[in-house]
Structure 1
Amino acid sequence: MYRDWTAEDWGKVIFSDESPFRLLRHPEKNHVRRRQGELYHQSCVMPTVKHPEAIHVWGCFSAKGVGSLTMLPKNTAMNKESYQHILREQLLPTIQEQFGDKQCLFQHDGAPCHKVKVITKWLREQNINILGPWPGNSPDLNPIENLWSILKRRVDKQKPTNCDKVQALIMQEWAAFSQDVAQKLIDNMTWRIADVLKKKGQHCKY
């Protein structure tokens, strides 16, 4: 369906997605010599975190730059009510800021809360055209996955020690993305689509 789309065509699309950011531990690396029999002593064992705290965010971007980014309520799964609230409070201002009265397309995946009738009806009432059909699990097709990857590296590099610092860094680094970064990701959509078609939907390296 999108085989012949140009970079200009993709430049009219706002991509969106949700992603978790986990609070990682950053222990200092120390090299010590252990006495015989001390290797598994309790004081020498570092516990691991099997289920680290996670901050879930929703964001969007286009060739014109990054749009809104919002934190989802802690321990709350996305549902149709919360998703409609995000679209109203985050997506609409982004569309107005980046495109004004010009036509654009909105991409979101096939997650259940994205496809319920109330959301489809609301988007139609707002005159927001959807880029579709779009598969539910499509990381190779969505360039915002690249933004998440860059953002997570930038945040983790600063070794935040608690969730408040993680949240602050997420917002800070998201706002620091240049329009050039966004433009390059959108410009790459033409060969991304070609590669996905060539590999018949199998995993691609981006």
Structure 2
Amino acid sequence: MKPSEIHRGSIISLHRVGRTNAQRARQLHICKQTVSRWLQRHKDTRNLTDKPRTGRPPCTTSEQDQQIRIAVEKNPLTTSLRVIEHQNLWKPHLTEANIEKRLEYALEFCEKPAIFWENVVFLDEKTFYSTNRKATKVWRKNGTRYDGQHVVSDGRSGRIGAALFGWVYASGVGELTDIGRGRFTGVKYVKLLEDVFLPSVRLLNPYPSQFFLLQDNSPIHNAEVVKNWFKAHPEINVLPLPPRSPDLNQFEHVWAAMEKQASDPLPLGSLPNRNAVIQKALAPWEHQRGRDAGQALCLKLTELMPRRLNSVIEAGGAYTKY
């Protein structure tokens, strides 16, 4: 943590009365390296103010900074993601080019009738874990490591992950399958499309011949080997989402519903392994298959696509509430 101007002045004052670096660090609750750095800065420049900086401007306002400080003081064990979500602080930065592409996409598809979106298959990938808790980070000041509010009582280790590939459509969930170990590549994606996706989607009555497929703008989805595979299957009309458009990807809501059901850690006493993680993720997916609740969720999300697109238009290509 960068010391305030008051702390910097205190470093110099304590130096003048003969305190050691270790004593100054303990008294001010900062590390010795910070004390040494500001002493050297004062010696070289006689100045304790911050140097001018270049680069990207701050992404938060002073009011938001204050909200963040209050949030972590109330709950030092919170995560940065939760702070961001609760304070509504973060979405991927949109460039002018991103905004333009989002707006073009929305204008192109906003007039499509609901029946059009009922003929669209949505694809996505997600990694599930053996526990929903990573190594816990603590927001604290230097010198307060062992304060009671900063100690986690039940640490966990051995977190195991498994990446899964799935697809949904207006009538419900399709297939969910293991991507496999190692890095996900375009070659792996083509194999999933060929061996899992295409055979299973062809079994559905709504898609006997041509159909539409919507996927996000992942670099893997745009790999040359993937483009060539789609060229060899002209019955599939690809609708790639514009860059940085999670608010136009209805699959995010499906994953969220699954993750909520699969978020509990594996039972204590079991030995977590990759297969157990896969089975844990498959359980809520299979629970939705053929059930009214699963069909209603997918149909609702499909019907919302025109509304999402119109929201992008109303926002001038910027982010929406979705």
Query: TM-score band, normalised by the shorter chain?
Result: 0.7 to 0.9
**Counterpart residue number, 1:182:** 298
1:1-206 aligned at under 5 Å gives the runs: 1-24=108-131, 45-46=152-153, 52-74=159-181, 76-98=182-204, 99-156=206-263, 158-161=264-267, 162-163=272-273, 164-177=275-288, 178-206=294-322
Aligned length: 190
Query: 2-side partners of 1:14 and 1:92: how far apart?
Result: 11
Which of 128-137 and 168-177 deviates more? 128-137
Matched to 1:187, the amino acid is E
Displacement of 1:45 after TM fit? 4.8
SS in 2 for 1:165: helix
**Counterpart residue number, 2:16:** none
Query: 2-side partners of 1:197 and 1:49: how far apart?
Result: 45
Query: 1-side partners of 2:126 and 2:176: how far apart?
Result: 11
Normalised TM-score (structure 2)? 0.53
Q: Do the aligned partners of 2:121 and 2:169 also contact (CA within 8 Å) in 1? A: yes
SS in 2 for 1:113: coil
Which of 129-138 and 104-113 deviates more? 129-138
SS in 1 for 2:109: coil
Query: 1-side partners of 2:242 and 2:218: how far apart?
Result: 9
Displacement of 1:193 after TM fit? 1.1
Matched to 2:265, the amino acid is K
Query: 2-side partners of 1:49 and 1:137: how far apart?
Result: 33
Q: Is the alpha carbon distance of 1:48 and 1:137 closer, same or farther for their aligned partners in structure 2, counting shifts above 3 Å?
A: farther
Query: 1-side partners of 2:128 and 2:316: how far apart?
Result: 31
Structure 1 runs (4+) deviating above 6 angstroms are: none
Q: Is the alpha carbon distance of 1:155 and 1:62 closer, same or farther for their aligned partners in structure 2, counting shifts above 3 Å?
A: same
Normalised TM-score (structure 1)? 0.80
Q: Do the aligned partners of 1:14 and 1:61 also contact (CA within 8 Å) in 2? A: yes
Q: Is the alpha carbon distance of 1:172 and 1:47 closer, same or farther for their aligned partners in structure 2, counting shifts above 3 Å?
A: closer
Q: Do the aligned partners of 2:123 and 2:215 also contact (CA within 8 Å) in 1? A: yes
Structure exhibiting the larger radius of gyration computed from Cα positions: 2
Matched to 2:197, the amino acid is L
Q: Do the aligned partners of 1:12 and 1:103 also contact (CA within 8 Å) in 2? A: no
Q: Which runs of 5+ in 1 are unaligned?
A: 27-38
Question: More helix by proportion, 1 or 2?
Answer: 2
Matched to 1:169, the amino acid is K
Matched to 1:166, the amino acid is V
Q: Which runs of 5+ in 2 are unaligned?
A: 1-107, 134-145, 289-293
Q: Do the aligned partners of 1:23 and 1:52 also contact (CA within 8 Å) in 2? A: yes
Instruction: Give CA-to-partner distance per residue, 1:142-185, whole Å, 9 cap, x none.
Output: 111100000000111x4324344332121121122222221111
**Counterpart residue number, 2:24:** none
Instruction: Give CA-to-partner distance per residue, 1:62-87, whole Å, 9 cap, x none.
Output: 1121111112223x221121011100
SS in 2 for 1:197: helix
**Counterpart residue number, 2:48:** none
**Counterpart residue number, 1:32:** none
State the structure with bigger RCO (CA 8 A, min sep 6), 1 or 2: 1
SS in 1 for 2:321: coil
